[in-house]
């Protein structure tokens, strides 16, 4: 691999002069800078940004931490779009992704500790915002920069990027009850009781009350319990779910018991391919790629100051499709 010494030798200058020229140091004349930069480009020289950062004690990598779960989070298109937005911004900063995925909280914490101690990673993105999270506590304790996807429930000083989930819940419920004319909706959520699910449910319940509608809620965990819930509530004529996959799974269970088609459904994330279901599906687009880009901007705001209404917080708008 071509090194800075090779470029210096070909240009007939010292290594320090070549290095300064490639970094646009004004101490080197513009003519010399342009000549050395053109030579480096022609030779295909790639600067070792990792070595440069490690000199300062930081790797040119950002740690991305997935939540522990009983299923593969990496297959969720929402996370893939988040990663796409993050990676696009990191490339511009000559940083790369390093991912932490584990089945248990203890394993995940050890993974992150290894990234910090052995990998010299000092910037992290948490794809969740959990109460009493040991990883967030570890990062705070060691004064490492991190941003959560979702508003933290127990630390107002943490940086985060999120949608306004309460307003998104209100918007989705209004669309279901007002536009789709649903009279007996059900709100479907996971068993994890995540903050964003709570906020979307609150929005749904607020709208249901204004329509004088009973706010049914079903936690989609144990399948037989969900089947029993459906059997006990044959009046259900519409679904609002916390994400597309919860929506489609509940709809599938509903179809097991009742012959239905073109059933009104409002959900979140806008990640399912067109034609995957015969439901009348309206998905709220949360723009995860934009969230990923905004996350990196916030993560590097110590170097690149942001002009945001509230420092440390960025909210991304939503859109109902």
**CATH class of the domain at 165-285:** alpha beta
Cα angle value 245/246/247 (rounded, 5°): 90
pLDDT above 90 for 250: yes
Residue with tokens 């304790």: 141
Q: How many CB atoms lie within 10 A of CB 273?
A: 7
**CATH class of the domain at 61-149+289-320:** alpha beta
Confidence class of residue 75 from pLDDT cuts 50, 70 and 90? Answer: low
Which strands, in side-by-side order, build the sheet including 185-189?
A: 216-219, 185-189, 238-241, 264-268, 280-285, 319-320
pTM above 0.85? Answer: no
| Residue 21: per-residue pLDDT | 87
Q: What is the pLDDT of residues 77-135, one digit of tens each?
A: 889 999 999 999 999 898 999 999 998 999 999 999 999 999 899 999 999 998 899 99
The domain locations on the chain are: 4-47, 61-149+289-320, 165-285
- For residues 85 and 289, the answer to whether their CB atoms sit within 8 Å is yes
pLDDT above 70 for 55: no
| Residue 64: per-residue pLDDT | 97
Query: Which two tokens mark 4?
Result: 């800075």
CA-nearest of 168, 164, 118, 144 to 321 is 168
Mean pLDDT of the chain: 88
Q: Lowest mean pLDDT: which of 128-137, 237-246, 277-286?
A: 277-286
- Provide the CA 127 distance to its chain's centre, in angstroms: 5
| Residue 120: per-residue pLDDT | 92
Q: Lowest mean pLDDT: which of 23-32, 178-187, 249-258?
A: 23-32
Q: In angstroms, what is the C-alpha Rg of the chain? A: 25
- For residues 240 and 186, the answer to whether their CB atoms sit within 8 Å is yes
Say if 61-149+289-320 and 165-285 have the same CATH topology.
yes
pLDDT above 80 for 46: no
Q: What is the pLDDT of residues 176-187, one digit of tens each?
A: 999 999 999 999
| Residue 72: per-residue pLDDT | 45
- Provide the CA 78 distance to its chain's centre, in angstroms: 7
Cα angle value 5/10/11 (rounded, 5°): 95
Query: Which two tokens mark 189?
Result: 């959520």
Q: At what angle do helices 134-141 and 105-117 cross, to 10 degrees?
A: 20
| Residue 222: per-residue pLDDT | 86
């Amino acid at each position: 691999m071509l090194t800075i010494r090779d470029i210096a030798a070909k240009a007939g200058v010292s290594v320090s002069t070549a290095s300064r020229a490639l970094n646009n140091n004004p101490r080197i004349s513009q003519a010399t800078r342009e000549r050395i930069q053109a030579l480096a480009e022609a030779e295909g020289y790639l600067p070792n940004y990792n070595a440069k950062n490690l000199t300062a004690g930081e790797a040119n990598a950002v740690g991305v931490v997935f939540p522990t779960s009983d299923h593969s989070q990496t297959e969720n298109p929402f996370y893939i779009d988040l990663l796409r937005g993050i990676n696009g911004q990191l490339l511009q900063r000559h940083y790369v992704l390093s991912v932490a995925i584990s089945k248990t909280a203890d394993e995940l914490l050890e993974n992150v500790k290894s990234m910090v101690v052995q990998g010299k990673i000092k910037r992290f993105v948490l794809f969740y915002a959990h109460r009493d999270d040991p990883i967030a506590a570890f990062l705070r304790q060691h004064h490492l920069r991190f941003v959560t996807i979702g508003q933290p429930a127990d630390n107002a000083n943490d940086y985060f990027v999120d949608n306004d989930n309460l307003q998104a819940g209100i918007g989705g419920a209004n669309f279901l009850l007002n536009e789709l004319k649903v009279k007996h909706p059900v709100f479907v959520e996971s068993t994890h009781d995540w903050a964003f699910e709570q906020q979307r449910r609150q929005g749904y319940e607020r709208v249901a009350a204004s329509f004088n509608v009973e706010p049914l809620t079903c936690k989609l965990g144990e399948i037989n319990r969900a089947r029993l819930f459906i059997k006990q509530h044959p009046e259900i004529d519409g679904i609002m779910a916390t994400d597309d996959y919860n929506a489609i799974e509940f709809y599938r269970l509903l179809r097991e018991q009742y012959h239905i088609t073109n059933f009104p459904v409002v959900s979140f994330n806008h990640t399912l391919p067109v034609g995957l279901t015969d439901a009348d599906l309206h998905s709220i687009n949360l723009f995860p790629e934009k969230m990923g880009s905004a996350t990196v901007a916030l993560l590097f705001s110590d170097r690149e100051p942001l002009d945001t209404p509230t420092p440390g917080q960025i909210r991304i708008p939503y859109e109902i499709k």
